[in-house]
Structure 1
């Protein structure tokens, strides 16, 4: 087996587990905070929001820092640091005695993160050009699958093994990711730049700076769109459902539909981007995603909603791996970690911003406007990509 394929398998498992570690707390968080001594419902909601969101905000700050470290010291050391650090921190969450300790550990989790950035950089730089899109597409399914299954796994463990065991078991899985990374990931790393460059000097060495900026904004918009509906899906399914006894099941299927489609389509669209160019896949995927959001505002029953969410998952599957492939193509290898660090930072900000946007728009304008506004943002982004990326790269081909 080629080294890059073995690295891909190990990184896939590691990203899957770390994504579970980031997302598994969602369904048990309010219950755990109540168990830690907070009984006021308003305070539970407030602390839950802070504890969940703070990890993504802190991660957005530290992702570029760890990306820089990956370029300086190698990607494998960053994988080991992140997986072991998260294993310890998540395990310690099971011993939290009050809500402030829990929030502090969530902050520390955000600081330590960087596994996804290092994985993406490793696969992008160690995989040959003919397979880069397919490899990045396959890798992206790990994060999607982990985020999709994390809340379900967290809820299952809490229901069958107890609340604190959610953290102990997840910590153990992260430790397994650390061991497999240490044993099986191989990296051929040569530091290309010996002196520390300032941010300005780094920026001056990057060709096609405007394309990098557009890709970072696109990364933000992608995650903003994907997570804008997260806070309101269950409420929307409740409104659409005539049989309220199965709302939880219907909401769960709806959550899973887009993720399942994404997992199916991402490697295939990544392979297509290798053949026809990542910019073409990005443009088509943005247009299709924007158009598929709009009819979700007008569905009449949960089954129509699920079908559209599945189709949306097929469309969005081409976005993240194609953006990563294009960023890799226009970025020097010595700066790949730093640039991917900034793209992950944009993604984390998109997760946080999308959750805020969806909740606020639903509260002030109504749930259906969440889909209309999100669709409009994706279509505006598509127009920008067409004129500033697609046309520019087409002229240089």
Structure 2
């Protein structure tokens, strides 16, 4: 029999499983998305690159647009309902993607997928409203490993399924995974929520007025965006950079896949431990320390002479990055009330999606203009800016909180 004090633990593990399934579902199709676009009639090399980038990015763009609306609705209707809406909506869209007949249909459906998504931010909001504050760092760290685990295993399974059954059936398999996520959430997630009428719901101005430290929370949104942009800026050049480091390498695709996956493996190992550390010494200290350490890992990536050196540094970066977003989320939890959790986490997700779109674009531009190695120097400089900005905002907030009110 679950009591009021411990049912959040079951919810944590159930929504972790849901995040794992949605992470796997989204990444299942990534290995062969360009092949599917080619199957839909786009065969020119430059056009294929352009359409692949557009089809991939449009999901994050529309997710950023829709996130505030879903966050507002979750604060009125409950977070479990938003989890169910997201899982079911994405499952239906995946089925339709499997029936797409041309590139424009695929682009439109990927945009709708972004509009209907949001399982992970709503999972974060649900747990944030239930977990004891002193365990929030650990809980956010554990929850972060769910989507990471799914994203790691998804490409491997997707590639095997595509080779075995063809491209279109993988979308139907992905939809089945999302339907499973829907039913697991329906039957096993528990939420005690009293719906709020539209007239009683807080507007945007009232939401920010209710925050304990408004300026700090807003700065954390932008910190999330910069973190995501910095992590994503490297992705477009990894394979080409590895090829430059080892001219005679035969299994380039396999080596690139391993090095691309290494940060996720490191994050799985370190996220819960760093979450506990965040609870013990404070998330603001962990955030600043990890941002500082990341600079000393990113910069040498532009100086390596072999792919195994790059892989080792990527492992260290993944272990550090595992603490960044959970630390930001924990700081947000410390400074908001349960009544606005869905809205605030949706704003944070919107800025994260903006980082997902802008990071690869910046990385590609820097690589085209100054070479592959410059991407790592640029990313290190971006993280340095984030460190200075975060340190200033945290110090400013600490100083103002110590000033007695008149």
Smaller-chain TM-score bracket: over 0.9
Give 2:281's aligned residue: 276
CA distance in 2, matches of 1:33, 1:371: 30
Matches within 5 A, 1:329-348: 329-348=334-353
Give the structure 2 partner of residue 300 of structure 1: 305
- Determine if contact 1:283/1:390 at 8 Å carries over to the other structure: no
Q: CA deviation at 1:369?
A: 0.8
Verify the 8 A CA contact 2:210 2:336 in the aligned structure 1.
no
Contact 2:61-2:354 at 8 Å conserved across structures:
yes
1:188 is the counterpart of 2:192:
yes
SS state of the match for residue 389, structure 2? Answer: helix
Give the TM-score, by structure 1 length: 0.96
Instruction: Tell me the distance in 2 between the aligned counterparts of 1:348 and 1:149.
Output: 22
Hey, what does 1:350 align to over in structure 2? 355
Q: 1:394 to 1:280 in 2, by over 3 A?
A: farther
1:53 alignment partner, one of 42, 53, 57: 57
Q: Is the 8 A contact 1:291 1:379 kept in 2?
A: no
Give runs of aligned pairs for residues 178-257 of structure 1, distance below 5 A.
178-191=182-195, 195-257=200-262
Residue segments in structure 2 that go unaligned for 5+ positions in a row: none
| Alpha-carbon contact 2:100-2:106 (below 8 Å) kept | yes
Aligned to 2:68: 64
Asked if the contact 1:261–1:310 (Cα under 8 Å) also holds between the matched residues in 2, the reply is yes
Q: Gaps (5+ residues) in structure 1?
A: none
Q: Does structure 1 residue 34 correspond to structure 2 residue 38?
A: yes
1:164 aligned to 160, 168, 186, which one? 168
Whole-Å Cα distance in 2 between the matches of residues 278 and 39 of structure 1? 49
Name the counterpart of 2:315.
310
Residue correspondence of structure 1 range 120-135 to structure 2 within 5 A: 120-135=124-139
- Give distance in 2, aligned partners of 1:148 and 1:352: 20
Structure 2: how far apart are the matches of 1:4 and 1:213? Answer: 27
Deviation at 1:279, TM superposition (A): 0.5
Equivalence for 1:362: 367
TM-score (norm 2): 0.94
Secondary structure of residue in 2 paired with 1:231:
helix
> Aligned equivalents of 1:391 and 1:206: distance in 2?
16
Measure how far apart 1:396 and its partner are. 4.4
Contact 1:71 1:335 in 2 (8 A): yes
Q: Residues of 2 paired with 1:153 and 1:370: CA distance?
A: 30
Matched positions, count: 397
What is the alpha-carbon root mean square deviation over aligned residues? 1.6
